[in-house]
Amino acid sequence: MTHALSLSVNGVAYSLGVGGGQTLLSVLRDEVGLTGTKEGCDDSECGACMVLLDGQPVNSCSYLAMQAEGRDVTTVEGLARDGELHAVQRALIEAGGIQCGFCTSGMLVSAAALLAERADPSEDEVRLALAGNLCRCTGYQKIVEGVLAAAAELQTARG
């Protein structure tokens, strides 16, 4: 049985028919066609599936799509604006914070949420914000450095 679902993904309105038990992750990947959000553990442990729901990070692998009814979803694809990467996307690339890339989308989404809330996070605050994201390549230091560099860039841009 399918249910009507209306939500906004990266600023685009979608009206879909989804199964009652379908996860937000599966809807984003299979129905909307945005594959940047990854399925890792399927148990909310690794953070590869992290998206923003009304600006707050959630693990989309264990979040039912129907719970997102009428809400705003931002995926890693939605962080870039007008063809320009978000500061945290650029900074992670420049810092060498991307190795295999599997955790990257979740790390980026979590970092963007932190930087939206806190203009000048400490290293400990960055580590805490990324605690729900596992990196199998153990690239945490470069990821943290990238987030801190993005924070500095955003502060400079805000003047």
**pLDDT tier, 137 (very low <50, low <70, confident <90, very high otherwise):** confident
Query: DSSP assignment, residue 137?
Result: T
Domains held by the chain: number: 2
CATH code assigned at 148: 1.10.150.120
pLDDT in tens, 16-50: 999 999 999 999 999 999 999 999 998 899 999 99
Query: DSSP assignment, residue 64?
Result: B
Within-domain flag for 81 = no
Structural domain of 37: 2-75
Which of 75, 95, 113 finishes a domain?
75
Which of 30, 52, 75 finishes a domain?
75
The reply to whether 145 and 99 lie within a common domain is: yes
The reply to whether 33 and 92 lie within a common domain is: no
Q: Does the predicted model carry a pTM greater than 0.85? A: yes
DSSP string, 6-55: EEEETTEEEEEEEETT-BHHHIIIIII---SSPPSSSSSSS-TTEEEETT
Instruction: Tell me if 149 sits within 8 A of 95, measured CB to CB.
Output: yes
Computed over every residue of the chain, the mean pLDDT equals 95
